[in-house]
Amino acid sequence: MDSCSDLKLVGRCRVARDGVNCTLGGNYQNLQKHASQVAERYNTDSIDFKLTISAGRKNEQSAAESKFNQLTVDIVKEVVTIGLDDLLEADGDVTAAPITARHASPLEFHHLLQNAANENAARTETSGAENSDDTVKKETVLVDCRNVYETRIGHFEAEGVITLDPGTRAFSDLPAWFESNARKLAGKRVLMCCTGGVRCERASAYLLTLGSCFQGNDDVVQLQGGIERYLEQFGQEGFFKGKNFVFDERGESEGILRLLKEEEKGLKPSDNSCSGTIRGACCVCTTPWGEYGARARCSACRMLVLLCDTCHSKTGNEDDKAGEITNQPMMLCELCQQQRSSTCDITTISTQQGPVPYYTNTNLNLPTSLLPSTRIRILCLHGFRQTARNFQGRTSALRRRLKHVAEFVFIDAPHTVPDIYGSMNRSQQRQEKKTREIENEESSAPFFIESNGTSTSPSIRPTTSNQDQWEQKRLRRGWLVSPEQYNTPHFLPRGDDLDHEQYHHQTAGLKESLDILDNVLDTQGPWDGILGFSQGASIAALLAARECHERPTKEERRFKFVICCSGYPSPLRNKEQEKTVLMPSLHVYGATKQDKQISEPESKSLWEQFDAAKRVLLRHNAGHVIPSTRLAAARIADFIAWAREEESKEH
């Protein structure tokens, strides 16, 4: 800060354990001096200082919003907020930094885009034929890691390369998009770009964690130095068309070479009169427009929207105190508009000039017009030491959000397991009380299939009046138990330390569980899918593997997809079931260190057993539970709709 203050530099600095990211403005010579001081202080020449010529601030409001009217230093968890700070293992330890994708210089990146059309054509011609060149086999796609308001004023357009726009409001939304679309990116060469390269560092690191299909040397490639470096070398003569959104007082940039060329010709720096470079449209009148000078925002979500000068002049004067436009009409961003009408798994940027069509990548309101015309049926398998009733209570909030999508049917596991008596901590007491209240509310719901198996529990259901007494006597259940627990007494004393890895030793009782589940699948269908939690997820995955092996064609299968929540690989898989499971699957589990019962590596290991083109990941921060947020429900509904679509394609 002392150096910046002495040199009269302004701007923003973010300091985090994974790095430092600064955007500074001031006298060009002073910026050069500051860069030299930083490089000398840290004894490195590896820092990428992007020095560029500025045409000046867009206006006073852009300077204030970008904090370029002062020097600001923020101490943050992540240098760019992607919401994955749990992946950073140690403060200040660069050796613990996540592995990122291979970097390609602007020139190499340009050549990759240039050659993609020929490669994709060759890939099409040689499909089905033997070819040792993986780069020819793979289709090339470009993922733009920026937010939707950034991509709307400029993006890459290369013939033969599909450019994917995740359509996010914030960078922290990107992991969910990768998880939803990993199956579509698998087997392709993924090029990535962002403004200056920092976001690609975090985004590519996360994509590489989604399986071996992204971990080859050329599977994922990121643009070194970002779009800023690319524009410095190619300007508008390259594949990037329009303007590059920047988070400083300039608002947008088109590259230093373009500015220099215009200055040499005696022209003013580029403005919106360059109609050939416009890629956006006014949100009110749809006139082609490519700058955010008005600093107008969506009336609903407050995201930046494009507003042309004509429409801006009709909205009234700016309120200097509030810094917002007064008397403005209702203006909705494209995401809020599309949230009312349609969804799109992967959004594709138009390669035509003119306004870009509006898309969104997810819909949180779950319009029934986009969901299956009839509710599907999902068989639900509870976890170890739970019951059907207990599991029903724990999924109550999620089921309410998905009531128009699916009917959830719960079944008791056949084995009673020893209850553990002793004191519970306050957190456990609150959870038990909450679950019991939910169970009481729904005790009459016709959601259950009786399955006695080896159970000694009565086949009656409790009434609300005697629910508490029933809770004291009712035994918990499991699909698998340890050999020591098989036919053991009903109660065991609570030890000081519970065995959190007991699921590794639960290998007894599989036959009884499979017999009951086979009977239910055969006699009480039709079924569309199976949802399992914890031990139930392990059993669900085992059933899916067996179903694909014993019933090769989809017409034969008794269910079409599987949802594994906080699951782990079954210790009882045989050699045939160890093959890749060719069934659509959704895997829901907690982030690193969040799930205290089943670790993330265990759940990820189960996820890797399924076909990369048919598996979807939903990663959350809620621990050993099934998340019931609106976003989680939307992701599950999207998966169900996609799984049904896949089924119809193959019929």
**CATH assignment of the domain containing 407:** 3.40.50.1820
Provide the pLDDT confidence category of residue 261 given band limits of 50, 70 and 90: low
* CA 642 vs CA 145, 158, 343, 615: distances in Å: 24, 29, 12, 11
pLDDT at 156 over 60: yes
**Tell me, what's the pLDDT at 246?**
87
| 89 falls within a domain | yes
Kindly provide the b/e burial profile for residues 138-172, where b requires at least 16 CB atoms within 10 angstroms of the residue's own CB. Answer: bbbbbbbbbbbbbbbbbbbbbeebbbbbbbbbebe
| 147 falls within a domain | no
| 473 falls within a domain | yes
Provide the pLDDT confidence category of residue 316 given band limits of 50, 70 and 90: low
Contacts 24+ apart (CB under 8 A), 351-356: 351/157, 351/159, 351/163, 353/241, 353/276, 353/278, 353/279, 354/278, 354/279, 354/281, 354/288, 355/280, 355/281, 355/286, 355/288, 356/151, 356/152, 356/279, 356/280, 356/281
**Tell me, what's the pLDDT at 595?**
73
Q: Where a domain ends, among 62, 96, 130?
A: 96
Please give the average per-residue pLDDT across 544-555, as a whole number.
90
Considering only residues 191 and 428, tell me which one the structure prediction assigns the higher pLDDT.
191
* CA 387 vs CA 48, 291, 503: distances in Å: 57, 58, 17
- Least confident range from 163-167, 525-529, 628-632, 647-651: namely 647-651
Three-state SS at 3: helix
Tell me the per-residue pLDDT of 98-121, one tens digit each, with 9 for 90 and over. 678 999 999 999 999 998 877 766
Q: Where a domain ends, among 54, 74, 96?
A: 96
**Tell me, what's the pLDDT at 42?**
79
* CA 522 vs CA 83, 197, 525, 647: distances in Å: 44, 54, 6, 20
Considering only residues 86 and 362, tell me which one the structure prediction assigns the higher pLDDT.
86
Which residues form the catalytic set?
A: 194
Three-state SS at 491: strand
**Tell me, what's the pLDDT at 429?**
52
**Tell me, what's the pLDDT at 19?**
81
Q: For the chain, what is the domain count?
A: 2
Distance CA 452, CA 538 (A): 21
Please give the average per-residue pLDDT across 465-480, as a whole number.
62
Please give the average per-residue pLDDT across 165-181, as a whole number.
90
pLDDT at 566 over 80: yes
Distance CA 101, CA 528 (A): 38
**Tell me, what's the pLDDT at 506?**
79
**447, 382 contact by CB (below 8 A):** no
Distance CA 392, CA 5 (A): 60
**Tell me, what's the pLDDT at 462?**
36
- Least confident range from 98-107, 123-132, 436-445: namely 436-445
CATH of the domain at 62: 3.30.70
Distance CA 431, CA 188 (A): 45
**Tell me, what's the pLDDT at 364?**
32
pLDDT at 578 over 80: no
Please give the average per-residue pLDDT across 51-77, as a whole number.
79
pLDDT at 469 over 80: no
Q: What is the DSSP letter of 361?
A: S
Question: What domain range is 87 assigned to?
Answer: 2-96
Distance CA 411, CA 387 (A): 8
Instruction: Find, among 157, 277, 106, 283, the residue nearest to 269 by Cα.
Output: 277
Share of the chain above pLDDT 90, in %: 28
| 331 falls within a domain | no
| 239 falls within a domain | no
Q: What average pLDDT is seen over the chain? A: 76
Distance CA 86, CA 430 (A): 27
Instruction: Find, among 348, 102, 113, 136, the residue nearest to 219 by Cα.
Output: 102
What single-letter amino acid sits at 590? G
Please give the average per-residue pLDDT across 474-485, as a whole number.
81
| 57 falls within a domain | yes
Distance CA 629, CA 635 (A): 10
Considering only residues 62 and 395, tell me which one the structure prediction assigns the higher pLDDT.
395
Please tell me the pTM assigned to this model. Answer: 0.67
- Least confident range from 110-114, 276-280, 347-351, 450-454: namely 347-351
pLDDT at 447 over 80: no
Q: What is the DSSP letter of 369?
A: G
Distance CA 410, CA 379 (A): 6
| 197 falls within a domain | no
Tell me the per-residue pLDDT of 284-308, one tens digit each, with 9 for 90 and over. 888 999 888 888 889 888 899 999 9
CA 389 to chain centroid: 31
| 134 falls within a domain | no
Please give the average per-residue pLDDT across 326-345, as a whole number.
64
Q: Where a domain ends, among 64, 81, 96?
A: 96
| Paired tokens of 215 | 């971990």
Distance CA 609, CA 151 (A): 36
**Tell me, what's the pLDDT at 260?**
56
Highest mean pLDDT among 63-72, 259-268, 309-318, 562-571: 562-571
Kindly provide the b/e burial profile for residues 552-585, where b requires at least 16 CB atoms within 10 angstroms of the residue's own CB. Answer: eeeeebbbbbbbbbbbbbbeebeeebeeebbbbb
